Amino acid sequence: MSDNLKTAMILFDKANEDYGVAKALSNNDGMPFYYSICFHCQQCIEKFLKVFLAYNDIEFPKIHDLGLLLGMCTDVKADFNVFDLSKFARYGVLIRYDDTPLTLEESIEALEMAKAVMDYVKGLIELPAGEVRL
């Protein structure tokens, strides 16, 4: 197994976990976890873009820049240009340091975009089954 395929498999599992955490937090009837939901959705999107790149044997920088990663994916498959990730980029780093309030609507939108990117990438790749990845 190539190193890039192994990286894709590891990131695939971690991205699915990020999405699962965001979904679980969104089902909370108590405190609204909008920051954490948006953060984990950004992480899910970022990792699925990296899964696609690694799966296609493309080295990627270890960054959180969704615009750059999306551009790299679009270079391989132009259809990635359907995703406008510009508003989700700030959820990876900036929300940890600023005091901008996030809303229920933003967290729902982040969940929808994470699911869309996740489903799209899953439709483009085929990872080996039955292997322990983490």
pLDDT value of position 130:
58
Residue 132 lies in a domain: no
Model pLDDT, residue 131: 58
Using pLDDT thresholds of 50, 70 and 90, give the confidence band for residue 31: confident
pLDDT tens digits, residue range 51-81? 999 999 999 999 889 999 999 999 999 999 9
Domain presence at residue 129: no
CATH of the domain at 95: 1.20.120.330
Residue 22: domain span: 3-124
Pairwise CA distance, residues 85 & 108, whole Å: 14
How many structural domains is the chain composed of? 1
Residue 87 forms part of a structural domain = yes
Residue 130 lies in a domain: no
The pair of three-digit structure tokens given for residue 69, joined into one six-digit string: 């990663």
How many Cβ atoms from other residues are within 10 Å of residue 82's Cβ? 9
